[in-house]
Structure 1
């Protein structure tokens, strides 16, 4: 499962490039995540990173993912959260524990896979929303999709607000489109 920790690192790096491409004019853009704009989805992503880090370090106090994590500096907020998140997942023996997370109690390897899925999906959502699907890492998305399917899927998280029902995708679609379809995102157009 060290592979998954490496993929979390990779997703954090990919999302850093997506966040760097943001400007104040596209924070209100709608995302493939129904009813969310870029600001809401980025705030949720940063909150998820902080909450996972707190859970992993045993300092979780019940903070909500939807609290205001962005403040006035989305790029700075993301960079700080990424540093904290990365450090938490690189703690010795982190994968030997059971994680008590707001999404439920999970073995740490399953929680790591869920985190990789959330980071990657939200990053793709934001990249598409700002008109930069080229920033999506199609190989990372395809690897995540293959791993999720090999590890039993995400059915336990569908309908809980984390992921929706799978929507149709074309097998020849790029990795990011196939991943979004798998996690229940409506595909916006053929250019995404």
Structure 2
């Protein structure tokens, strides 16, 4: 299988980000800040704040700029109000083909930009599912988005498990969907 081109990856990132927005409406999140999520260290509010940080850092990385210390990574407003402009900036930043080329600063290190963009797709997809699951929503992701998320998850799996970002891999049912297999790989039960 051929790796997706930057234009395809930009489209996947756009769809992953818009999918996250669809699960962060006032109707879906109001009054649910303290609910536990499949991520043991995050409640709904903390997960939403983690996602905000991921999107802000991702937009800076696409522009090849380090995230400044005063970047807005603390939720001072409800996600349904805070996320739309952040998603717009993220999508715009990664829509430029050059965003996917060269190196980019991310999480305190410099990585290949392509890797940072695909990590962002994975984060939005897996944590989008976490958020949906915690708030009683059904989460679906398109096959190509899941394939990209799964490819980068496989690449970082050992280190992510060692660092606590992924739980122990769980067995996936023989008839599991691609999303369910991705979730099982990251230690989640779909």
Q: Choose which of 55, 68, 71 in structure 2 pairs with 1:61.
A: 68
Pairwise CA RMSD: 2.5
Conserved 8 A contact 1:51-1:63: no
1:132-147 aligned at under 5 Å gives the runs 132=137, 134-137=138-141, 139=143, 142-144=146-148, 146-147=150-151
- Report if aligned partners of 1:18, 1:123 keep a CA contact under 8 Å in 2: yes
Contact 1:142/1:178 (CA < 8 Å) preserved in 2? no
Size of the aligned set, in residue pairs, is: 183
Residue 104 and residue 128 in structure 1: after superposition, are their counterparts in 2 closer, same or farther (change >3 A)? same
- 8 Å CA contact 2:103–2:113 kept in 1: the answer is yes
Describe the superposition over 1:30-84 as per-residue Cα deviations: whole angstroms up to 9, x where unpaired: 111113111111110011100121233215214589x52x213211111121011
C-alpha change, 1:129 and 1:176, in structure 2 (3 Å) is: farther
Per the alignment, residue 91 of structure 2 pairs with 86
In structure 2, stretches of 5+ residues that fail to align are none
Query: 1:124 & 1:23 partners in 2: Cα distance?
Result: 14
Shift of 1:158: 3.1
Partner secondary structure for residue 105 of structure 1: strand
Q: 2:135 aligns with which of 116, 130, 135?
A: 130
Structure 1 moving runs of 4+ over 6 Å: none
Is 1:179 the counterpart of 2:185 in the alignment?
no
TM-score by length of 2: 0.82
CA distance in 2, matches of 1:72, 1:130: 18
| Greater alpha carbon shift after TM alignment, 100-109 vs 81-90 | 100-109
Query: 1:138 offset after TM fit, Å?
Result: 5.7
